[in-house]
């Protein structure tokens, strides 16, 4: 098997007692979770609990210090570079070129993986930016429209795993509704989505499962007051 080929295809994300360190601080201290294809999983927890670190680890940006982690079958200890082209990490910024049009942006990001014109058109259509928005300069778009453009770029890049950090931040009510519909449709089409959010009501209704991230560890969600 070549280094660029995944070892297996299901489940999509598997972490087993993973430890990840930021500087000398163990940001993840034995985190374990399994996420299957097409799931939308919400990560919730207080600031500094390790949610963003967990997303960055799954994106292949942080090394695994101890434990075992795989994404799409790629070993996060030895194949981090190989994971990156298959996942999309969307943080507070959208990664767009503001002087280019929506179409230019999606074409560029799709082009980095050799996406065809048909794939690029399909990605734009799927995220609802294909028609009147296609030739609009990104700088003039609303926050919600930029988010959808960014997600269209993820689709054009053929990202199979979407790692979203506070995706609802900065969006108004209609932008949030648009984003939720977009994510549901992406999951239905086979994307696996991990969402870190503080907006529990909004993100909780979107997710098929909620996980608590507390002090660098991951647990099944328990409502406030429930005993462990």
Partner 1 sequence: MSAWRVAWLIARKDLRVERRSRVVTNQVVPFAGVTMVIFAFALDSDAVLQRVAPGLVWLATMFSLLVLVQRSFAIETDDGALDAMRVAGVDARAIFLGKAIALAAELVALELILLFAAVILYGQSIAAGSVVLLVTTLVAATCGLAAVGTLYGGLAAGFRGRETLLPLLTLPAVAPVLIGATRAVEAALGTAGAVVSDGWPWVGLLTVFAVAFGVGGSLAFGPLIDE
Residues that bind partner 1 (CB under 8 A): 59-61, 81-85, 88-89, 91-100, 104, 108-109, 111-114, 137, 146, 157
To partner 1, the closest distance from the beta carbon of 82 in angstroms equals 8
To partner 1, the closest distance from the beta carbon of 89 in angstroms equals 5
Q: Which is nearer to partner 1, 46 or 111 (CB)?
A: 111
Reading phi first (left if > 0) and then psi (alpha if -120 to 50, else beta), residue 17 is in left
Which run of H or E residues covers position 40?
strand 40-44
In this structure, the number of other CB atoms found within 10 A of the CB of residue 190 comes to 10
Q: Which is nearer to partner 1, 43 or 202 (CB)?
A: 43
CB 169 within 8 A of CB 150: no
- Alpha carbon distance 184, 55 (integer Å): 19
To partner 1, the closest distance from the beta carbon of 191 in angstroms equals 16
To partner 1, the closest distance from the beta carbon of 111 in angstroms equals 5
Which residues, 6+ apart, have CB-to-CB distance to 42 below 8 Å?
Answer: 195, 196, 197, 200, 203, 204, 206, 207, 209, 210, 211
Which run of H or E residues covers position 110?
helix 102-111
Q: Which is nearer to partner 1, 104 or 166 (CB)?
A: 104
- Tell me which residue of 99, 126, 98, 97 sits closest to 111, measured CA to CA: 97
To partner 1, the closest distance from the beta carbon of 99 in angstroms equals 4
Q: Which is nearer to partner 1, 96 or 210 (CB)?
A: 96
Tokens 């995944």 belong to 6
Q: Which is nearer to partner 1, 17 or 104 (CB)?
A: 104
């Amino acid at each position: 098997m070549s280094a660029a080929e995944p070892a297996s295809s299901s489940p999509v994300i598997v972490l087993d007692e993973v430890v990840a360190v930021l500087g000398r601080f163990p940001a993840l201290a034995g985190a374990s979770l399994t996420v299957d294809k097409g799931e939308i999983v919400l990560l919730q927890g207080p600031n500094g609990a390790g949610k963003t670190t967990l997303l960055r680890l799954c994106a292949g940006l942080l090394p695994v210090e101890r434990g075992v982690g795989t994404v799409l079958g790629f070993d996060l200890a030895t194949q981090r570079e190989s994971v990156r082209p298959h996942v999309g990490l969307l943080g507070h910024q959208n990664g767009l070129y503001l002087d280019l049009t929506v179409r230019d942006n999606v074409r560029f990001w799709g082009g980095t993986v050799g996406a065809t014109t048909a794939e690029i058109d399909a990605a734009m259509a799927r995220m609802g930016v294909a028609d009147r928005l296609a030739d609009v300069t990104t700088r003039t778009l609303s926050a919600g429209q930029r988010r959808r453009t960014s997600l269209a770029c993820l689709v054009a890049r053929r990202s199979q795993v979407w790692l979203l950090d506070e995706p609802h931040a900065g969006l108004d009510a209609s932008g949030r509704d648009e984003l939720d519909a977009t994510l549901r449709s992406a999951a239905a089409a086979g994307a696996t989505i991990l969402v870190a959010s503080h907006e529990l009501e909004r993100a909780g209704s979107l997710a098929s499962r909620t996980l608590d991230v507390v002090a660098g560890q991951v647990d099944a969600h328990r409502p406030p007051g429930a005993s462990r």
